[in-house]
Amino acid sequence: MTISEENYIKVIYHLSLVSPKGVNTNAIAGMLDTKASSVTDMLKKLSDKDLVSYQKYQGVTLTDKGFFSAKMIVRKHRLWEVFLVDKLGFSWDEVHEIAEELEHIKSEQLINKLDAFLGFPVADPHGDPIPDAKGVIKKIEKQLLSEVEINASFHCVGVKDSSTDFLKYLDKQKIALGSVVKVIDREDFDDTLTVEIDGKRLTISNKIANNLYVQ
Amino acid sequence: MTISEENYIKVIYHLSLVSPKGVNTNAIAGMLDTKASSVTDMLKKLSDKDLVSYQKYQGVTLTDKGFFSAKMIVRKHRLWEVFLVDKLGFSWDEVHEIAEELEHIKSEQLINKLDAFLGFPVADPHGDPIPDAKGVIKKIEKQLLSEVEINASFHCVGVKDSSTDFLKYLDKQKIALGSVVKVIDREDFDDTLTVEIDGKRLTISNKIANNLYVQ
DNA sequence: TTTTATTTTTAGTTTTGTCTAAATTTAATT
DNA sequence: AATTAAATTTAGACAAAACTAAAAATAAAA
C-alpha cells in the first residue's frame, strides 16, 4: 500500500464509525482536503485491491481486509503518539502531525517491539483505544461529561475533539486524563456545568463538556 | 524536499566522501538501483534548488546547503538506528532498512528530542559517527584491523561493511563493538591474522580484518 | 411528477519520478 | 590523430495521484 492509499483507508475507517452503511465521496474529499474526482479514482483502485467495496454512486465500505489494514494504521498512529508523549516529552497537542508521518513506516516487527517497549498501552494520549496486534480494540467505557448525572464524581478518560485549541484550553484549566471531576450543577438554560477539579470550582460551557469523556 | 530528493542527496554525500572532486552519474544510479537518465533528470532539479552544483558531463558535488541537508538525513538515520538497537532490542543487522524509512520523518523537534532521549550518542550501532544538531561530526579515531601493528591490543570501534552477512559473522565469533582484540600474528602470504578475543584464539582473513575498525 | 439542486463520475491534463531508445560527449585504444 | 568504447544526456513515453470542466446520476423541492 502506498502512503496515499493508507490515508484513504484510514479516513474511510474513521468515517465508517459515524456512517456504517456507506461513506460518501464528498466526505472523504473533505477529510483529505482533495477533490471528489480524485476520490473516485482512488476508490476504483482500492476496490481493485479488494480493500473496499464500492458501487458507483452508492458510497463505499471497507472489506474485512481493508478494515484490518485500517486498524493497523490506527494502531501505529496511536502507539507512536504514546511514544512521543511518554518517552520524548511532547505535549498532547503536538503529536498528531508527527504521528501522521510515523504511521506509514512499514515494519510490523517495529510496531510490535514499540508496543512492548511502551508497556502495551491500551489508549493513546487523547484516550483513544489502541488496537492490539490482532486488530482487537478493547472498548473503553466512557460518557460525555455533558451527559452525566449531577452530584457525582468521574475520571477524565478522553477527548472527543483533539484540536490544539481544545487541548490547550484543558491544559490551562489543569484538566488532564486522570483528573477527577465532580459535577456540582447544571444550568437549565444553556447546560453550563459547575464542576470541581482538584478542589477548585470551575464553570464549563456545554461545548466543552460535550468534548470531554469521563467514566 | 521529497523522499526521493533526500535519497539522492544522501547517496551523493556518501559517494563524495570517496570521490570529493565530483560524483559520477552512473555511481549514483548504481547506489539507488535506478537508471542514469533518471539521475540526470534529478540532478537538474537538485541543481535548480541549489542543493548540488552540476555541470553536464562533469559530475556533481554538494553545495553547502546540500551538504548540511545530507548531514541532517544521516543524523536522523543513525539516531533512529541507536533507538532501534538500544531501546527496542533490534540487533545491529536488522536496523538499516527501517532507519531508511524513519530518516525521512520531517520534524526537527522530534529528532532533537530523540537525541536527548538517547543521551546524545556520538556513534550508531555500527560505529559510524552521528552529526550533531549543527551538523558537526566528531571524528572517531580508528584504524582498520588489517593495518595495525602486531603484538598490541585494540578495541573494536566500528565496521566498514554493514552487510548482514558480515555482521552475522561477527555475532557468531562473539565480536562486538567494545570487544578487545589482541593481534598475535600476521601471515605474510595472505595477511591472515591470528588474534585473541576474550582469551580465545581466532584466525581472521584479510577480508574480515579489512572491514573492522579498531582503536 | 416534473424541475431544480446536489453529488458523483467521466474525460482530459498536469506533475513527479521513472523508463527506453537514440544521440551526444568524454575517455581509452590502436 | 583517428577510431572505438564508455559514460552521459536528450527526447519521448508511462504510471501514480492529483486537478478542471463537463456529463451523468441521485436526491430534494416545487
Examine residue B115 and state whether it is found in any structural domain, yes or no. Answer: no
Please give the helix or strand (H or E) that residue B72 lies within, else none. helix B64-82
Residue B40: inside a domain, yes or no?
yes
| Mean of pLDDT values over B11-19 | 96
> For residues A90 and A84, is the Cβ–Cβ distance under 8 A?
yes
Give the residue from chain A lying closest to B87, CA to CA: A117
What is the mean pLDDT of the segment spanning B54-81? 97
Across chain A, mean pLDDT equals: 96
Per-residue pLDDT, averaged over B16-21, amounts to 94
Residue B80 resides in a domain? no
Question: In the structure grid, which three cell numbers stand for residue B83, read together?
Answer: 533507538
A107 with B113: Cβ contact below 8 A = no
Tell me whether residue B116 is in a domain.
no
* Angstrom distances, CA of residue B45 to CA of A169, A181, B29, B61, B106: 45, 57, 16, 14, 20
pLDDT computed for residue A199 by the predictor: 85
The percentage of chain B sitting over the pLDDT mark of 70, rounded to a whole number, equals: 100
CA angle, B202 then B205 then B210, to 5°: 115
Those residues whose C-beta lies under 8 Å from the C-beta of residue A108, and which sit 6 or more positions away, are none
CATH number at residue A167: 2.30.30.90
pLDDT of residue B198: 85
Q: How many angstroms separate the CA atoms of A125 and B178, rounded?
A: 39
What CATH number did the domain enclosing A28 receive? 1.10.10.10
Average pLDDT, integer, range B70-75? 98
Residue A48 lies in a domain: yes
Taking only residues 61 to 90 of chain A, the set having a beta carbon closer than 8 angstroms to any beta carbon of chain B reads 84, 87-90
Contacting residues 20-49/B vs strand C (CB within 7 A): 32, 34-35, 37-38, 41-42, 45
In a domain, B172, yes or no: yes
In a domain, A97, yes or no: no
Helices A64-82, A3-18: crossing angle, 10 deg rounding: 100
Phi, psi of A197 (to 5 degrees): -125, 125
Q: Which domain-ending residue is among A35, A62, A89?
A: A62
Query: Looking at B26, B42, B62, which one is the last position of a domain?
Result: B62
Residue A202: is its pLDDT beyond 90?
A: yes
Taking only the tens place, the pLDDT of each residue in A3-51 is 999 999 999 999 999 999 999 999 999 999 999 999 999 999 999 999 9
Position B148 confidence tier, pLDDT thresholds 50, 70, 90: very high
The Cα–Cα gap between A204 and B181 comes to: 68
**Per-residue pLDDT tens over the stretch A87-131:** 999 999 999 999 999 999 999 999 999 999 999 999 999 999 999
Q: Is residue A23 part of a domain?
A: yes
User: What are the counts of helices (DSSP H) followed by strands (DSSP E) for chain B?
Assistant: 8, 8
**Structural domains counted in chain B:** 2
Q: Could you tell me which of A77, A79, A83, A47 has the C-alpha nearest to residue A65?
A: A47
Q: Where are the beta strands (DSSP E) in chain B?
A: 52-54, 60-62, 143-144, 152-159, 180-186, 193-197, 200-204, 212-214
Using CA atoms, how far residue A82 sits from A71, A72, A85, A117, A120, in Å, is: 16, 15, 5, 11, 10
Is A3's Cβ below 8 Å from some Cβ in B?
Answer: no
Which of B62, B81, B109 terminates a domain? The answer is B62
**pLDDT at residue B34, as a whole number:** 96
The domain in which residue A162 lies consists of 143-214
